[in-house]
Amino acid sequence: MRQGRSMSFRKTVLSLAVLGLGLAVPAASAQTARSGLDAASASAIVAGCQAWSGEHNVPMTVAVFDQSANLQALLRMDGAIPVSLNVAQLKGRTAAGVGESTANLAAQAIEEPAIYQVPGMSVLQGGVPIFTADGVLLGGVGASGGSGADDEACAMAGVEAAGLAYNRGGAE
């Protein structure tokens, strides 16, 4: 009798294990592959920002983030002010996470002051999103070290140098 119970128990455990394995195997996915910001594009953005910085003699820090707001590339150029390291990252992470420029968010904050209260969000000019030519959000880049206008121009130049766009409709 005891051996029968033991055998029955083993069969039950094995059946549950097989059932569990079957449930753990993912079914065919309906999601299509998403494009993502690759290391080569992130490096091209940084290089484009470096070129802009050299032409305008404004040392910058540049932070590039992927569409999940994970840091992809970071460079603090010689002579960039120390605080620019943190500010560039806040700008880039914000642009990547929201899919809008930080300058646009600043304009929206006038009507919606609660935007200023969102932790980790920057409304300082100089963060721009990164899009493919057909409008897929790839991430964001933040630049810091000059005026707000300089920071934004640098970030835009980096995105354009990589052959990407900083708005859904393509670069302007």
Model pLDDT, residue 34: 58
Note down the domain range covering 153. 39-161
Q: At how many degrees (to 10) do helices 148-161 and 39-56 cross? A: 130
Residue 115 belongs to a domain = yes
Model pLDDT, residue 116: 86
Residues 6+ apart with CB under 8 A from 23: none
Model pLDDT, residue 33: 54
Residue 44 belongs to a domain = yes
Model pLDDT, residue 22: 42
Q: What is the pLDDT along the chain (172 residues), one digit of tens a residue?
A: 455 554 454 454 334 343 344 444 444 445 445 578 999 999 999 999 999 999 999 999 999 999 999 999 999 999 999 999 999 999 999 999 999 999 999 999 999 988 888 888 999 999 999 999 889 999 999 999 999 999 999 999 999 999 999 998 754 4
Residue 88 belongs to a domain = yes
Residue 17 belongs to a domain = no
How many domains in the chain?
A: 1
Q: Are 63 and 142 in contact (CB under 8 A)?
A: yes
Residue 171 belongs to a domain = no
Residue 118 sits in a domain whose CATH number is 3.30.450.150
Residue 27 belongs to a domain = no
Residue 7 belongs to a domain = no
Residue 43 belongs to a domain = yes
- pTM of the predicted model as reported, rounded to 2 decimal places: 0.78
